[in-house]
Amino acid sequence: MTEHATERGWFADLDPGSVDGAREAIDDGSAAEPADWPQRAVETGFADSEADYYELLQEATVAATRATVVDREQANDKQLLHAVRAMDDADRTANELAERLAEWAGTLFDDVGTGVDAARQLADREPSTPLESRVISLAERVDDLATEADELRTFIKRQAPEVAPNLSEMAGAVLAARLIALAGGLEALAKKPSGTVQVLGAEDALFAHLAGRGSSPKHGIIYTHEYVSGTRPEDRGSASRALAGKLSIAARIDHYSGERRSEIHAELADRMSTIRARAEGDDTSEGGDQ
Amino acid sequence: MSSLPEGVERREFDGRERLSTRGQPVYGEPTDGEWRCWDAGRSKLGAMLETGMDVDLSGGESVLYLGAASGTTVSHVADFAGPTYAIEFAPRPVRDLIGVAENRSNLFPLLKDARKPETYAHIVEADLDLLVQDVATRGQAAVAVDNAQFLAADGQLCLAIKARSEDVTADPETVFEEVREEVAAAYEIVDTRRLEPFHDDHLGVVARKR
């Protein structure tokens, strides 16, 4: 080690003999090259001896690594799976209750609309009879449930890019979370062939097809992606196949590496413009390509 | 065949001679008094010692272990070695690794990416005696070369190469040849051997830092 080494060890900003604040230093610190840290720690008075240093190092690394593992695991795919299912349940229940409410409130008030927005307006009214109290109270439940669904959606939009950066960038946070939930987790999604990813969420149609009824589904939940829904019907098969292929790769990168890779997003954009260019070519010559 | 380091012995478990070290049991391995069996089928370094590769260890070495996973092998390393830094990238196995480290005062677990040495160079000391590497990612040779900075001038590398991590479709021998060439940029190769029957399509490499 050189006399004038400028690199700082993980203990540089800590109080002598204390590992308070070590987690941040261990997690976020860096150095261009290693040094004789045990000796440096003794020289700077952080530790009394090398044996003392190793004791502090062990305490610090075990505690810091444990805390970081807990954080990382709580920001995991399973939490996202619960969040997206809860959001869907809250949405669906809010809508069902809103329908019931519209029917009931229509018998009491003249100017009642339907849906969650109408329920929210109703919730602001002042009840004048015990009957109206019940109806308006029900409207408040609808309002609460719809608000919960919105907050879950906000949470998913924040959390999904942490759990699956490539999948979220490609699919959007909510669709990424839905794909993870349908597969049963990010690992399960990463292990599915892209043909399965393509029809996730279209299981009814798929099994009807396998039983000999109907054609094979071209797309499942990925239909909600603009690359599929925004492509003309005769090219949607190609579009969903291309999208599903890249989504599978994105899920595998997210699961096995966790790094963001910009090239797959560019490749997909490139492929999609090729598919969509067919529509322009066909404007002059009649008919599709399939 | 080189001799085993102090703290590693061949003892009889289930009717045959197997490697063992002294320490707290970790994964339900057979024990004989304070000796615990080191299963070469679950450990590439164990397989490298078991197959008699030219590993020069005497015990008490300072070690950087890349790809510690849940700590199966690194627990045995910490039993016979000195300060042992264990790097693992995935949170799930690290939960188990922490349990292993709690019972071993010379084992330092770190949740870091072995491809980014700068993120742990402020913790892992310089001039180590031994680098053990068992990471299943593409670019295994580059990882070994990048981490040579932690080794002392004559420091040793024990590298397990998984052919399928580099290229699932390529012939393992082709992959191994490429890796050998790349590793030679920073190391002088001492010994290489396939780790069958303990591990399929794996090559053990023992080398010294140039």
pLDDT above 50 (res A73): yes
Enumerate the β-bridge partners of residue B193: B204
- Judging contacts by C-beta atoms under 8 Å, the chain A residues touching residue B107 are 58
Give residue A57's identity as a one-letter amino acid code: L
DSSP code of residue B135: -
Interface contact A36-B149, CB threshold 8 A: no
Interface contact A31-B118, CB threshold 8 A: yes
Q: Classify residue A77 as exposed, middle or buried by CB count within 10 Å of its CB (0-12, 13-18, 19+).
A: buried
- Number of A to B CB contacts under 8 A, please give it: 86
Interface contact B95-A72, CB threshold 8 A: no
Does domain B8-209 correspond to CATH entry 3.40.50.150?
yes
CATH number attached to the domain at A164-290: 1.10.246.90
Write out the two tokens for A224.
Answer: 């909600």
Tell me the per-residue pLDDT of A216-237, one tens digit each, with 9 for 90 and over: 888 899 999 999 999 999 999 9
Q: Classify residue A285 as exposed, middle or buried by CB count within 10 Å of its CB (0-12, 13-18, 19+).
A: exposed
pLDDT above 90 (res A284): no
The owner of tokens 């690199």 is: A7
Give pTM, 2 decimals: 0.64
Tell me the per-residue pLDDT of B53-102, one tens digit each, with 9 for 90 and over: 999 999 999 999 999 999 999 999 999 999 999 999 888 789 899 999 99
Q: Which residue in B159, B160, B151 sits closest to B210, CA to CA?
A: B151
Q: Residue A63: closest CA among chain B residues belongs to which residue?
A: B98
Q: Among A36, A61, A68, whose Cβ lies nearest the Cβ of B125?
A: A36
Please state the φ and ψ torsions of residue A25, each to the nearest 5 degrees: -65, -40
Q: Among B105, B109, B118, whose Cβ lies nearest the Cβ of A65?
A: B109
Q: Residue A2: closest CA among chain B residues belongs to which residue?
A: B126
The owner of tokens 């444990």 is: A66
Tell me the per-residue pLDDT of B135-179, one tens digit each, with 9 for 90 and over: 988 889 999 999 999 999 999 999 999 988 887 778 889 999 999
> How far B161 CA sits from the closest chain A CA (Å)?
18
Per-residue confidence (pLDDT) for residue B2, from 0 to 100: 63
Q: Among A26, A58, A68, whose Cβ lies nearest the Cβ of B105?
A: A58
Interface contact B125-A35, CB threshold 8 A: yes
A62, A74, A255: best to mutate for the B interface, most B CBs within 10 A = A62
Q: Among B98, B123, B150, whose Cβ lies nearest the Cβ of A26?
A: B123
Q: Among A33, A58, A61, whose Cβ lies nearest the Cβ of B121?
A: A33
pLDDT above 50 (res A199): yes
pLDDT above 90 (res A192): yes
Give the residue extent of every domain in chain B.
8-209
C-alpha to C-alpha distance for B53 and B3, rounded to whole angstroms: 10
Per-residue confidence (pLDDT) for residue A75, from 0 to 100: 65
How confident is residue A286, by pLDDT bands cut at 50, 70 and 90?
A: very low
Q: Which residues of B touch A (CB under 8 A)?
A: 83, 91-92, 94-95, 97-98, 101-102, 105-111, 118-119, 121-127, 137, 149-150
